[in-house]
Amino acid sequence: MNPKIELLLALAKTPAGILAARVKAKEHELEFPHNGCAAFLSSLLDDAGIDTGVILSAGVLAEALVGRGWERVLVGKQEPGDIGVTQDWNKNGVPDHIFLVVARLNADAMLIADNQAPALHERYASGKGKTPVEYFLRSPE
């Protein structure tokens, strides 16, 4: 596994790592944690040495990662360190949400880090009340 992804996961597994990303995101996204998924995740990526800068749009962040060689992964094949990119239910041309997969529990259930909670929490690729995942992004090795 890429050492920067190992660091990313280590940061996401600690309250201090999540808090640091939340503080940085709040500096850039005034409505944080509302609408702050990209700001949070790009802050966490930045803290792990994956220099994205703080990005405020899930779509722009996903495009930036693809531009750096991150590859699309099908739903159900996600692994820790992958980035979940949801569908566009809001019909505004951008994914509704973006998050980090910290642990895969099964093909659907994951533990994730995102702006929606100050600690790791469960999310389902199929949605189960939230926007389903469209695809995952995986860092080049």
Mean pLDDT of 20-35: 89
Angle (deg, nearest 10), helices 37-47 and 3-12 = 120
Q: What pLDDT was estimated at residue 87?
A: 80
**What pLDDT score was predicted for residue 96?**
82
Of residues 11 and 88, the one with the higher pLDDT is 11
- 79-135 confidence digits (pLDDT tens): 999 999 998 766 766 778 899 999 999 999 999 999 999 999 999 999 998 889 999
Q: Which residue range is the domain that position 108 belongs to?
A: 3-138
The per-residue pLDDT for 113 is 97
Q: Residue 117: CB partners within 8 Å, gap ≥ 6?
A: none
Query: What pLDDT does residue 41 have?
Result: 97
pLDDT, the chain, mean? 92
CATH of the domain at 44: 3.90.1720.10
Q: At what angle do helices 3-12 and 15-28 cross, to 10 degrees?
A: 90
Number of domains making up the chain: 1
